[in-house]
Amino acid sequence: MSESIRRKYVGLSKLGLNGWAIGASLIALIVVAPILAVFYFALTPETNNWPHLVATVLPRYLSNTVILMVCVGALTAMVGTGAAWLVVMYRFPGRRWLQWALLMPLAVPAYVGAYALVDFLEYAGPVQTSIRDYFGYATSREYWFPEIRTRGAAIIVLSAALYPYVYILARAAFREQSGAAFEVARALGAGPFARFWRVGLPLARPAIAAGVAVVMMETVNDFGTVDYFAVQTLTTGIFTIWRSGGDLGGAAQIASLILVLVVVLVALEKLSRRKSRFAGSGRNQRPVVPTDLDGFGAMAATIACILPILIGFFLPLAVLLGHAFDADQWAAPGLRDALLRTLIVCGLAAVLTVAGGVFMVYGVRMSRSKLPGKLMPLTGLGYAAPGAVLAVGILFPLATIDNALADLVLWVTGTDPGLMLLGSAGVLVLAYVVRFFAIAQGTADAAFGRVADSLPMAARSLGHTAGGTLRAVHVPLVRASIASALLLVFVDAVKELPATLLLSYEETLATRVHAKASLENLSDAAPAALVITFVGLCAVLLLARTNR
């Protein structure tokens, strides 16, 4: 080692910056960079069309987005909380399998549910066809049927797909409550609704609020559903202004508005429970004992739990299966190519995301510097930011780099290579890593927290390096959590549509489903949609297993 390099190394060590700390900080900066790029390009557009956007389309985009967020948040809160209360507090027919089946709509992306609902209710669908056959109508003018592609239908589809986020958190919160509190309330004359409203709901409100916040962020992120139902939101505005109008600065400005909206939403959620204080009665507190229901009450509880599963899972699955068996599309070359590309890109993204999350969490623990620890919470912004926003933040800097590389190659060789980075699989991998890094980082942080400090200390005392301790002690102990994070990141990447549409020129399963369904060709879209649903079911089964 030369003297100059040795001095630099000693200087960094004095600052508490070792290789782990530097690596963790670099990972955090890579994850946060696209979000910072969005704000930079929004503030420095080539042509400032912001006044024109404010005067024309922005009010419509913003109002539709806010209405969707509020309505979907309220509906998922009612459905998710109500279902969680029923399966925790009562026994009724089907309860044992319904408490896990209520998670199944997570396997079906909202845009797939939208395609299936329209196909089921449209003029040529089975519902209207049965009405015409039964009553002898010849045309749709002879009877009234509600319009399908509306904002209200989008709210129903999004709520049916997203309510499990509220359900799983509310169920966990209700299960952790003390059964003694409900017994006291019952002894004081409180009925079932009063016990829910005055005891159960206030204690579970932080968990419910967190679930609703996730639902609202997913609603902002959605593109496939609102685009199919012709509802113009901020996310569809990015596509319209960028692709149709060619206004990259305007797209960045709308993307920055979405980020501000998400930050405000998260801040309001935390502010709403800032003064809340809850305490358990001890580790030996009495668990909740479910009450037996019979007669009409049991039937009503069963129906109330089955309805969201029917709308969010079984209806889309039945429609897709009907089209998949009617069409000979399973051997289509396009499907095979899209499947292979999806497996490679999403698999690589999952591995890199989890590896980066593990490295960062361990680097923060191994660092004496406060910088990595301060940067780590910022990496969660990627998951809060919609895919379309991250696409804007990734594409602009890469476009600059790509053009510079092309100019350099042209100057050196005299041959124009074209764009080498944009549209490549590497861009998609980067987008997925940034988008879902919070999942891997959060899982790794929780898993490492369960490892006793004495174990890595013993390994270090036996001569193991920091890397050797990670391999020999931590990885074997957190292997199950790492595998879970890999699966969750992979599944979310497979379902991701907005970022994939904006960044990839080649077809994946998600973009294939969107392209075929947008052309009203659900038969060709069904096989790819079923593959996505099957992959999602794997994650749901894992989620159900870990939440028993």
Could you read off the pLDDT of 59-109 as tens digits, one per residue? 999 999 999 999 999 999 999 999 998 998 889 998 889 989 999 998 899
d(CA 489, CA 350): 5
Better-predicted residue by pLDDT, 546 or 34? 34
d(CA 312, CA 107): 9
Better-predicted residue by pLDDT, 525 or 382? 525
Q: How far is CA 542 from the centre of its chain?
A: 16
pLDDT computed for residue 418 by the predictor: 64
pLDDT by residue (tens digit) across 421-432? 666 778 888 889
Over 80: is that where the pLDDT of 247 sits? no
| Phi (first) and psi of residue 223, to 5 degrees | -125, -45
Sign, CA dihedral 212-214-220-225, equals negative
415 CB neighbour count, 10 Å cutoff: 9
Q: Where are the domains of the chain?
A: 16-45+327-548, 66-273+291-322
Over 80: is that where the pLDDT of 452 sits? no
pLDDT over 70, % of the chain: 87
pLDDT computed for residue 11 by the predictor: 45
Sign, CA dihedral 34-528-519-63, equals negative
Average pLDDT over residues 269-280: 59
Return the CATH architecture of domain 66-273+291-322.
Orthogonal Bundle (1.10)
pLDDT over 90, % of the chain: 22
276 pLDDT tier (thresholds 50, 70, 90) = low
Over 80: is that where the pLDDT of 283 sits? no
Better-predicted residue by pLDDT, 543 or 171? 171
Over 50: is that where the pLDDT of 401 sits? yes
Return the CATH architecture of domain 16-45+327-548.
Orthogonal Bundle (1.10)
495 CB neighbour count, 10 Å cutoff: 25
State which H helix or E strand residue 147 sits in: none
Q: Roughly how many angstroms between the first and final C-alpha of the chain, as a whole number? A: 55
pLDDT computed for residue 476 by the predictor: 77
Average per-residue pLDDT for the chain: 82
326 pLDDT tier (thresholds 50, 70, 90) = low
Average pLDDT over residues 462-486: 75
Equal fold, 16-45+327-548 vs 66-273+291-322: yes
pLDDT computed for residue 9 by the predictor: 41
Better-predicted residue by pLDDT, 533 or 378? 533
275 pLDDT tier (thresholds 50, 70, 90) = low
pLDDT by residue (tens digit) across 215-229? 998 898 899 999 999
CB 41 within 8 A of CB 391: no
Amino acid identity of 376? Answer: M
Q: Which two tokens stand for residue 245?
A: 């109008």
Q: Which segments of 181-316 are extended strands (E)?
A: 291-292
Better-predicted residue by pLDDT, 333 or 525? 525
pLDDT computed for residue 423 by the predictor: 63
pLDDT computed for residue 7 by the predictor: 47
pLDDT by residue (tens digit) across 116-161? 999 999 888 889 889 988 888 888 888 888 888 899 999 999 999 9
In angstroms, the Cα distances linking 211 to 52, 75, 378, 402 are: 36, 12, 20, 40
User: Nearest-CA neighbor of 508 among 496, 523, 520, 517?
Assistant: 496
